Structure 1
Amino acid sequence: MQDHLNLHGILIPDDSQIITDRVRRSISAGRYERDEMTGLPKFIDPADRVVELGAGIGFISSFLTKRLGVRQALCIEANPTLCDFIGRVHAANGIQDVDVVNAVAVSEAQSGETSSFYVREPFWSSSMDSKPEYERVVDVPQVSLPDVLRDMDANTLIVDIEGGEKGLFEGMDLVNVTKVYLEVHTRKIGLRGIKNCFDSLSALGFVYDQRVSCGGSVLFRRMRGR
C-alpha cells in the first residue's frame, strides 16, 4: 500500500514524481496552502457551488468537500499530470463527485483552441508564462469560464494560477459568482498586475474583504444593490 502524507486530515499519495522533496517539506511543515487554510473556513458554506482554477494536487478541493462539507465543486487544472494526481487524491479521501477538467479558463473559448502551458518543478511554478526556464510545454484546451460558471450555477470562484490572474478578470462575465478567492502572485505580475486585478473586479462590483484576506490570498465579495 502506498504511503500517504496527512495535511489537515487530507491524505495525499506520497508519489515522488509529484511530491518532490521541496513539496514534501512544505506539506510536512504545514506551510502548504497555509493562508487558504486560515481563510476558507471563514467564508465557505456547505451550500456553496465552487469552481477552482489551478487545482494543483487537489488539496483545496479535498479540504472543501471532506472538511468543510461542500457538496458541489469543479476543478480546472492546466497540467495534465496533476489532473491524474488530483483523481488519486480524491480517491484516497473517498471523494467521488468532484469533476476534474484539464483546461485553461478564458473569457471566450473557440472550438479546438488551445493555450501553451509551461511545466516546471515544483509543480506550483508551472504557468502560462514561458519565463523562467521550463521542463516542457503542453498544449491545453481552452474552456469558457462564463459557460462553466453558468452550467454549474457557481457562486464561488477560487483562483490560484501562478500569475495568470493578471488579465483574467478584464471584461470577464462572472455570471452569478458572489465570492472570488484569489491568490495574487506579486513576483509574477507586479504591482500593476495587482492593481489590474483589483480594478477589474471592482468594475464587476466586487469589493475587498479585509476580514478574510490573509497574505496573498484575497477574498472579494460582490456588492448587491449598488
Structure 2
Amino acid sequence: MHEFTLNGISLGLPAGLATPEILGKLADGTYEADEARSAERCVREGMRVLELGAGIGYVTALCARRAGPENVLSVEANPALLPVIEDNLARNGLPGVTLIHGAVTGPVAPDAMADFAVSTGYTGSSLDGKGKAVKVPLVSVHDLIWAHKPHVVLMDVEGAEAEMFNRPWKCPLRFCVMELHPRKYHPRTIKKIVDFMSAMDLTYDPVTSRGKILGFRKVWGAGEDPDALMGDAPAGPEE
C-alpha cells in the first residue's frame, strides 16, 4: 500500500493500481490538483454535491470535509476503486458519503449494463476506451440529479459528459465543474454544453476553470450572497 497526504487528506493506493505516473503526481502534489482547487473554491458547508467519477476518493474527501459527508453523492464505474474510496474516506474520518457503482451517462433503460474499459493504473478508464472490459451498471445523470438535487456537480467521466446535456437538470445548481475531453467529440458538443449551462442561468466561472477544467456558476448580482440562493429543487419528477 502506497500512502500520501494531499491538502490534509490521507490517501492510500494499493500497489496493484499504482503506475509510476500516478505515484509521481501523488508524491509531488499535482494529482488532480486542478479538480481539487475547483472543489475547494465552490463547495461550501451544507451544499449537496454530486461527484461523477470519484477515482480514489481524493476530491470526494475534500468535498465531504467541506460540505459534510451526508451531503456528498459520488459515483465510480471502476469496481476495483470502490474499496479504495471507502478506505480513504474512513481514514479521514468521513463516513456517510453515498457511493454508487456505475457509469454515468444520459437517459438509460432500467437495469442497463455496459462494457467499461479499465485502463492500466485506472486513470483514463471509460465506456469507449481501451483496456480490460468489465460489465458495469449504467446510471442516468438525470436520475441522480432528481434524487440528490445538488448545488454542486463535479464530473470527470472521460467523455461521457457529451451525453448528459440533452434535457434540463431540475436542481438548485450553483456550480458545475467538469473536465472536458475535446479529442472525444466535436467542438459543437462543447458549444452544446456551454449553451445548456447558459439556459440554466449559469455562466463561465474563471475561478474554477483551468485548462481542460471548465467551471460554471449561477449568475447572481453584485452584493448578492450566493448562500441565500441555496433552495430546494421544484417538486415533482422530471418529464
**Class of the TM-score when normalised by the shorter of the 2 chains:** 0.7 to 0.9
Aligned-pair distance for 1:164? 1.3
Q: Relative to total residues, which structure has the larger strand share, 1 or 2? A: 1
- 2: distance between equivalents of 1:200 and 1:153? 18
2:188 and 2:148 map into 1 onto residues whose CA distance is 32
Instruction: Name the SS of the counterpart of 1:56 in structure 2.
Output: coil
Give 3-state SS (helix, strand or coil) of 1:213's partner. coil
Question: Which runs of 4 or more aligned residues in structure 1 lie more than 3 Å from their structure 2 counterparts after TM superposition?
Answer: 187-193, 222-225
Structure 1 residues 17 and 3: CA distance shift in structure 2, 3 A = closer
- Cα distance 1:122–1:196, how it changes in 2: closer, same or farther (>3 A)? farther
Q: How many residues align?
A: 220
Given the alignment of the two structures, is residue 201 of structure 1 paired with residue 200 of structure 2, yes or no?
Answer: no
Larger mean CA deviation between 157-166 and 183-192 belongs to 183-192
Structure 2 match to 1:33: 32
Superposed CA RMSD: 2.1
Range 145-154 or range 8-17, more displaced: 145-154
Q: Tell me the residue number matched to 1:53.
A: 52
Within 5 A, what are the aligned runs for 1:60-139? 60-66=59-65, 68-71=66-69, 72-130=71-129, 133-134=130-131, 136-139=132-135
Q: Is the 8 Å Cα contact of residues 52 and 74 (structure 2) preserved in structure 1?
A: yes
Specify whether residues 214 and 78 from structure 1 end up closer, same or farther in structure 2 by C-alpha distance, changes over 3 A only. Answer: same
Asked if structure 2 preserves the Cα contact closer than 8 Å seen for 1:126 and 1:162, the reply is yes
Which whole-Å deviations, capped at 9, do the CAs of 1:94-124 have from their partners, x for residues lacking one? 2110011111223333222112211102311
Aligned partner (choices 156, 165, 171) of residue 152 of structure 2: 156
Q: Compute the displacement of 1:91 (Å).
A: 1.5
1:145 maps to what in 2? 141
Which secondary structure does the structure 2 equivalent of 1:139 belong to?
strand
Q: CA deviation at 1:190?
A: 5.2
CA contact (8 A) 1:35 1:216 kept: no
Q: Which runs of 5+ in 1 are unaligned?
A: none
Contact 2:118 / 2:125 at 8 angstroms: preserved in 1? yes
Matched, 1:219 2:215: yes
* Inter-partner Cα distance in structure 1 for 2:101 and 2:181: 22
Distance 1:60 1:187 in 2: 24
Superimposed CA distance per residue, residues 33-67 of structure 1 (whole angstroms, 9 cap, x where no aligned partner): 1112322222211111001001111110111223x
One-letter identity of the residue aligned with 1:10: I
When normalised by structure 1's length, the TM-score is 0.87
Per-residue CA shift, 1:135-170, capped at 9, x if unaligned? x11221122322322222321111111111123212
Give how far 1:3 is off. Answer: 5.2
Moved more, 26-35 or 173-182: 173-182
**8 A Cα contact 2:177 2:215, kept in partner:** yes
How far apart in 1 are the matches of 2:201 and 2:97? 29
Percent identity over paired residues:
28
Deviates further, 196-205 or 176-185: 196-205
Decide whether the 8 Å contact of 1:107 with 1:172 is kept in 2.
Answer: no
Gaps of 5+ in 2: 222-239
